[in-house]
Amino acid sequence: MRKVKIIFIYKTLKLLYTIIQYLYICKKTKSVRRQIPITTFGMPVLRKKTKAVTKIDTRLINLVENMFYTMDKAAGIGLAAPQINLDISLAVVDISGYEKNNKEKPMVLINPEILGSHGEVEMEEGCLSIPEIRADVTRPGKIFLKYHDFDLNEVTVELNGFISRVIQHEIDHLNGKLFIDYLPEEKKKEIKKQLAKIKKGKVITDYPLLIHSGD
C-alpha cells in the first residue's frame, strides 16, 4: 500500500514538472522576437495612406518590438508599418548605431505629422523596400513634429539633422510616398529597369522580402 502511494506521488510530481516545463517553453516562445519580411517596391501597401492608430494594446506593443527587431536585423535605421504590410500610422526609428557617439534614442512614432519645416538639405537616401538604389534627395533640414506616445498623449518636438531626415522619410511611407518620387526625371529614367527588377524580386538582400505577386 505504502509503495503504491509513493508511486502515485512520484507520478503526480512528474506530471507537475512536465506542465511547468510546458508553460515555461510557451512563455519563452511567446517572447521570442519575429523577423517580418519587408514589403518591396511594387507592393500596393507602400502606396496607401495609412490609418491612425486609435488603441494601444499588447498586440501593438508586441508589433513595435518586432518592428525594432526586423529593422535591426536588416541593418535599417527606420521602418514604417507599410514596410511590414500594415496600413497603420506607425513607424520606428533608431539611428544610434549609424553614427559614432550618436546619442539619439530610438523613437516610436504613432500617428506622426509634420507641422512645419525649414531649410533645404541634400543627402543620399536608401530604403529597405527599394534595395540597392541610393540617390540624393533634397528635404527640409528642420522639422516641427507632432506624434503620439504610448499613452496616446500628443508630443510636439523640433528636430534637426539626421534624425529629422530619417523621420521625414518614414512619415512619407505613412502617406504612400517613397524617396524615389523626389528624384528628377532623368534619374527616374535611369533607375526604371532596376525598379522593374526589384518589383519582381530579382534582388539580393540579407533580409526576407515580401514581393507583390500581381503585375
Q: How far is the CB of 132 from Zn ion (least distance, A)?
A: 13
Task: Decide: is 46 part of the binding site for Zn ion (CB under 5 A).
Answer: no
Residue with the closest Cβ to Zn ion?
A: 127
Q: In angstroms, rounded to a whole number, what is the distance separating the alpha carbons of residues 188 and 106?
A: 32
For Zn ion (CB under 5 A), the number of binding residues is 1
- Residue 170 designated active-site: yes
Marked catalytic residue, from 170, 185, 186, 190: 170
Which position has the grid cell 521625414? Answer: 168
SS3 state of residue 202:
coil
DSSP secondary structure letter of residue 53: P
Contact region with Zn ion (CB under 5 A), list: 101-109, 127-135, 138-146, 191-199:
127-135
In 3D space, the residue among 203, 46, 210, 212 whose CA is nearest the CA of residue 132 turns out to be 203
In 3D space, the residue among 161, 36, 41 whose CA is nearest the CA of residue 95 turns out to be 161
SS3 state of residue 4:
helix
Candidates 45, 127, 137, 167: give the one binding Zn ion (CB under 5 A): 127
- Choose between 56 and 126: whose C-beta lies nearer to Zn ion: 126
In 3D space, the residue among 146, 137, 206 whose CA is nearest the CA of residue 166 turns out to be 137
Contact region with Zn ion (CB under 5 A), list: 20-28, 37-45, 62-70, 126-134:
126-134
Q: How far is the CB of 91 from Zn ion (least distance, A)?
A: 10
Residues that bind Zn ion (CB under 5 A): 127
Residues carrying an active site annotation: 170
